[in-house]
Amino acid sequence: MKALFSTIIVSMFFFVNAFAQSSSTNHVVAVSVPQVALVNVVAPSTGITLSLTAPTTAGDWFAPVTNSLAFLQVSSVKKSETGSRDINVNATGIPSGLVLKVEAAGSSTGKGGRGTVVAGGVVLDGTDAPLVEGITTGFTGSAASNGFQLTYTLSADETAANVAGLVSGASNVTVTYTITE
């Protein structure tokens, strides 16, 4: 009987402790997310070079040349869930008689709403044209081969007036990418 009484007393002690008073408190932690709209082009340190090769047979003309060594990267956080951003491209300094085109491949790196590329690319002519559309909140990554791979194509314009105006020489063309609302 003494053993049973002792067991009951010890059990009650643990039972009372199990239902002891508890206390809690809380506080507010303020968090903030800024808007972000960043675009970058990663190219080789030597830059992008496109050089037409002289034809070797009389009567032939220049074959187009390409370069796919650059990547377009983006980071975007929108103020609201509605609407989207685009990346526009334009170029200045394209010599008369030449056609410069840029095409972007879809980004397989990063996360979120990185947008979609315009099919067929853009012929650069000095006016803004969309290259990537529908960017919401997302990022492509920032490593050297992350983002939208860019392919530049240079060709001689074969319209009669532009063929007649083509002259030899080297030029620097400035290509500008702009992220817009």
Chain centre to alpha carbon of residue 172 = 24
Domain ranges of the chain: 36-43+62-161+172-180
Write the pLDDT tens digit of every residue in 26-84: 999 999 999 999 999 999 988 999 999 999 999 999 999 999 999 999 999 999 888 99
Among all chains, which residue has been given the structure tokens 């989207």? 84
- Average pLDDT score over the chain: 90
Q: pTM here?
A: 0.83
CA 127 to CA 11: how far, in whole Å? Answer: 85
- 7 burial type by CB count under 10 A (0-12 exposed, 13-18 middle, 19+ buried): exposed
Torsion of CA 94, 100, 102, 103, to 10 degrees: 170
